[in-house]
Amino acid sequence: MSGEAGERDRIPLAQPVIGEAEEQAVLEVLRSGQLSLGPKLLAFERRFAERLGVDHASAVSSGTAGLHLALRAVGVGPGDEVISSPFSFIASSNTILMQDATPVFVDVEPDTLTIPADAVAAAVTERTAALLPVHIFGQPADVAGIEPLGLPIVEDAAEALGAVHADGTPVGGRGHPAIFAFYANKQLTTGEGGLVATADPAIKATIDSERNQGRAPDMQWLDHDRLGFNYRLSDIQCALGLAQLDRLDGMLADRARVAAWYAEALADLVARTGLELLAPDAGGERRSWFVYVVRVPRGVDRDATITALAERGIQTRPYLPAIHLFSFYRERFGFREGQFPVTEDAAARGLSLPFFPAMTQDQVARVVAELTAVLTGDGAPAA
């Protein structure tokens, strides 16, 4: 497809839900003259914490900033080890390096793509300073299973707003520092932004100071008593976040509905080709649908599939590369292929399909029809 018609017919990978309420909320802040460290920040933090059932929340400039500050707040520093997942967006690992600590990876479960508690326990050493489970693609990680290890836990819940653990606790609501992210493709967006939820007032105080250049606890102007950063989230963004919170339940329901349409429409292709879908909810857990990722059949060239779909007006992406196979990590830590086979298989075959709350059933049907044509046609891309 090309030209004006092609662009009009193209189905994007993601699309935020922004309406008049968001526009009015932002306009109100612009007219107020207080664009940062104002009442919208406090209101956004309070409402977010209430939704999770925790006492505290600190809004920050990104999920990455939140991970960095949370790792600092629980005491991770030079020479320490942090156990985490190699199947994640790279920020979960990069922020460990930002503290001059070492990421220790354990392979993920084939069904949930999260790190199993027994593997985490086996990886603990005297240098382990923290555990960093990732709620990948909105799937709750087994936080309850690693809590008995007695180590600080920092949860990467950037993709999991609205997910629920088997015991009914919202992901991010167990009290450990839990990081959420609000990029435009997330369940809730502030454009850029993030937040750390916690039950610990001392962690809240530390993060509030360090996000604002290490300003002293009384927050007096230009009184700084520690190393800090410019990790603030503006009142403009917090106002957008508040408007998004008002419609969050509806957007989560819309995402779940689109996921259900996909599962139904893809059932035949799964049976015919060996295409794999994400595992369904089990044991009382509830995923929060962030992306809709499939694994192409074995023997199919995933990257060629992406190219073929793009030519048909369907935007897709590989989700996600294996962190330990990035050249920077190979060179620094000596990682090699074959160390984490489940992660490597998921990284090699993962394909994110167009997915957003306003997606229609007709759009889902078209994506599935084009994917079927690519995988079953005469020119199906072989690996």
pLDDT at 210: 96
238 Cβ neighbours under 8 A, 6+ residues apart: 40, 41, 43, 44, 59, 190
Side-chain half-sphere CA neighbours of 291 within 13 A: 25
* Nearest-angstrom CA–CA distance, 251 and 244: 9
- Say how far apart CA 42 and CA 44 lie, in whole Å: 6
Q: Sort strands 81-84 and 102-105 into parallel, antiparallel or unpaired.
A: parallel
Q: Alpha-carbon distance 67 to 320, whole Å?
A: 19
Query: What are the backbone angles phi and psi of residue 280, rounded to the nearest 5°?
Result: -70, 165
- Residue 312: alpha-carbon gap to chain centroid: 28
Q: Which residues contact 172 (CB under 8 A, 6 or more apart)?
A: 52, 54, 155, 157, 160, 161, 178, 180, 197
Distance CA(20)–CA(27), nearest Å, equals 10
| C-beta separation of 180 from 195 below 8 A | yes
Report the distance separating Cα 266 and Cα 121, nearest Å.
37
pTM of this structure: 0.95
pLDDT at 218 over 80: no
Strand spans (E) along 70-176: 81-84, 102-105, 128-132, 155-156
Per-residue confidence (pLDDT) for residue 361, from 0 to 100: 98
* 67-111 pLDDT per residue, tens: 999 999 999 999 999 999 999 999 999 999 999 999 999 999 999
Q: Where are the domains of the chain?
A: 20-246, 248-316+354-376
**Rounded Cα gap, residues 297 and 311, in angstroms:** 20
Other Cβ atoms within 10 Å of 131 Cβ, number: 27
Q: What is the DSSP letter of 293?
A: E
Residue 254 is predicted with a pLDDT of 98
Give the residue-averaged pLDDT of 215-238.
87
Helix (H) or strand (E) holding 192: none
How many angstroms from the chain centroid is the CA of residue 154?
14
Reference 303, options 353, 253, 349; nearest CA is 349
The pLDDT of residue 7: 62
Q: What is the pLDDT of residue 1?
A: 40
- Residues designated catalytic: 186
- pLDDT score at 62: 98
Instruction: Report d(CA 19, CA 57) in Å as an integer.
Output: 26
CA angle at 320 for the pair 16 and 245, rounded to the nearest 5°: 30
When the pLDDT of each residue in the chain is averaged and rounded to a whole number, the result is: 95
pLDDT digits (tens, 9 = 90+) for 152-202: 999 999 999 999 999 999 999 999 999 999 999 999 999 999 999 999 999
Q: Exposure of 251 by Cβ count < 10 A (0-12 exposed, 13-18 middle, 19+ buried)?
A: buried
Residue 309 CA from chain centroid, whole number: 25
pLDDT value for 8: 60
375, HSE (Cβ side, Cα atoms, 13 Å): 25
Question: What would be the CATH architecture of the domain defined by 248-316+354-376?
Answer: Alpha-Beta Complex (3.90)
Q: Are strands 81-84 and 128-132 parallel, antiparallel or unpaired?
A: parallel
- Report pLDDT for 3: 39
β-pairing, 292-295 with 317-318? unpaired
pLDDT per residue as tens digits for the range 331-373: 999 999 999 999 999 999 999 999 999 999 999 999 999 999 9
If you average pLDDT over each of 4-18, 211-225, 234-248, which comes out highest?
234-248
Confidence (pLDDT) at 223: 80
Cα–Cα distance, 377 to 373 (Å, whole number): 5
Res 216: pLDDT: 78
When the candidates are 3.40.630.30, 1.20.1090.10, 3.40.109.10, 3.40.640.10, the CATH number that belongs to 20-246 is: 3.40.640.10
- The pLDDT value recorded for residue 74 is 98
Contact 17, 357 (CB under 8 A): yes
The tokens describing 71, both together, are: 């790792």
Give dist(CA 209, CA 228) in Å, integer. Answer: 7
Nearest to 84 by CA among 333, 373, 313, 297: 333
Q: Which tokens belong to 101?
A: 């600590």
